[in-house]
C-alpha cells in the first residue's frame, strides 16, 4: 500500500502514513484475523494497481510493458475472489491507456487494453474450471453471473440478519459504525467487534474534498481520488444493506487520502502536532484492539461499543 502511494505521489511521509493507518486499523485487523474473502480481494487489487502504476515511467520513456499482463493476471485473481477488484481495475484501464497514447505507440495501446481487459476476464474464467468439469457450460455460467448480479443489486440479508450498521454512506461520518460477531467457547461468550479508528476514518471525507480542490487547481493527482470514489460511491448510494465487510474494498485508498493530507499539514504546522496525532492514532488503536481479538467483554470501557454492536443485543439498543 505504501509503495503504491509513493509511486503515485513521490511522498514518502504520506506513503508511510497510509501503510501505518492500514496496519493498525482495528477494522482491518479484525477481518484479517477472520480471513474473510474481502481480505484476499484487497491484497489482489492493491497489487494489481501497483503493478499497473509501476509500468508507467517518465512520459518520454518507454513503459515497462511486461508488468501490464502481470497486473491483468492479479486483477483476474482479485475478481475471482470478489467483485471489489473491478473498481480499481476500471480506474487503471483509462489511466494506462492515456499513458500509452502519449507515447504514440498503437501496438502498446492495444497490448495494454488486452492485458487489462481480456486477460483478467480469462483468468476469472479459468478459476471456474472445476465448476465446468462438473458438466456446466458457458450458457450456465452466463445465467449464473446474471443471477449473481441481480442478487448483488437486491440482496436484503437473511431473515436472521440483525446487524445494524448497513449504510455505507455513514462509514466516514459515524465514528461508532461497527460489525459485531458472537461466538461461544471455553465456557464463556466472545464478542468480536470490527470498528474503524475514528481518528483516521473521520478525516477521510474532509481529506478527499481538500485533495479534490487541490487536484483541480493543479490539474494533477486525481488518480488517488478516483481509486477511492469509484469503489465507494456505488456502496454509499446502494439502496440495499451494505455490511462493513465491504469497507475493505475502500479503506486502503481512503487511508491514502488521509496520509496525503496529514503529510501536508505536517509541512505547514511542524513535527510537534504531527507526532502528537500519530501517538493519538496508535493509542486509540491499542484501546480498540481487544474488540478485534474477541475480548470485547473483558474490558469495561468497551462495554457501550460492545452492546451497540453485539448482534444478540442490538435490537434492544436502537
Cα atoms in the Cβ-side hemisphere of radius 13 Å centred on 200: 33
H helices present in the chain, as ranges: 2-9, 12-24, 26-34, 37-54, 67-81, 86-102, 106-116, 118-126, 129-132, 138-154, 198-201, 204-218, 222-236, 251-269, 271-292, 303-309
- Over residues 238-295, the pLDDT tens digits come to 888 788 888 999 999 999 999 999 999 999 888 889 999 999 999 999 999 998 888 8
- The pTM of the full predicted model, rounded to 2 decimals, is 0.89
- Over residues 26-58, the pLDDT tens digits come to 999 988 888 888 889 999 999 999 999 999 876
Amino acid at each position: 500500500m505504501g509503495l503504491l502511494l509513493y509511486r503515485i505521489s513521490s511522498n514518502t511521509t504520506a506513503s508511510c502514513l497510509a501503510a501505518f493507518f492500514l496496519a493498525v486499523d482495528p477494522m482491518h485487523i479484525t477481518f484479517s484475523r477472520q480471513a474473510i474473502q474481502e481480505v484476499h480481494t484487497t491484497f489482489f487489487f492493491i497489487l494489481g494497481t501497483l503493478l499497473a502504476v509501476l509500468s508507467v515511467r517518465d512520459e518520454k520513456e518507454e513503459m515497462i510493458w511486461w508488468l501490464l499482463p502481470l497486473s491483468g493476471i492479479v486483477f483476474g485473481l482479485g475478481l475471482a475472489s470478489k467483485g471489489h477488484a473491478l473498481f480499481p481495475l476500471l480506474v487503471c484501464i483509462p489511466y494506462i491507456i492515456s499513458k500509452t497514447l502519449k507515447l504514440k505507440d498503437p501496438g502498446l495501446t492495444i497490448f495494454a487494453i488486452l492485458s487489462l481487459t481480456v486477460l483478467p476476464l480469462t483468468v476469472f474464467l479459468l478459476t471456474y474450471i472445476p465448476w465446468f468439469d462438473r458438466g456446466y457450460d458457458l450458457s450456465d455460467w452466463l445465467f449464473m453471473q446474471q443471477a449473481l448480479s441481480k442478487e448483488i443489486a437486491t440482496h436484503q440479508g437473511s431473515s436472521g440478519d440483525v446487524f445494524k450498521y448497513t449504510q455505507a454512506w455513514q462509514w466516514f461520518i459515524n465514528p461508532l459504525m461497527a460489525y459485531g460477531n458472537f461466538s461461544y467457547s471455553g465456557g464463556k461468550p466472545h464478542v468480536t467487534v470490527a470498528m474503524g479508528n475514528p481518528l483516521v476514518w473521520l478525516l477521510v471525507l474532509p481529506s478527499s474534498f481538500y485533495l479534490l480542490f487541490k487536484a483541480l487547481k493543479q490539474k494533477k493527482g486525481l488518480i488517488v481520488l478516483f481509486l477511492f470514489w469509484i469503489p465507494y460511491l456505488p456502496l454509499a448510494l446502494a439502496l440495499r444493506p451494505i455490511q462493513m465487510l465491504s469497507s475493505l474494498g475502500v479503506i486502503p485508498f481512503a487511508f491514502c487520502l488521509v496520509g496525503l493530507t496529514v503529510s501536508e499539514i505536517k509541512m505547514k504546522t511542524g513535527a510537534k502536532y504531527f507526532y502528537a496525532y500519530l501517538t493519538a492514532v496508535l493509542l486509540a488503536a491499542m484501546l480498540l484492539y481487544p474488540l478485534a481479538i474477541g475480548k470485547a467483554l473483558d474490558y469495561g470501557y468497551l462495554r457501550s461499543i460492545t452492546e451497540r454492536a453485539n448482534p444478540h443485543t442490538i435490537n434492544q439498543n436502537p
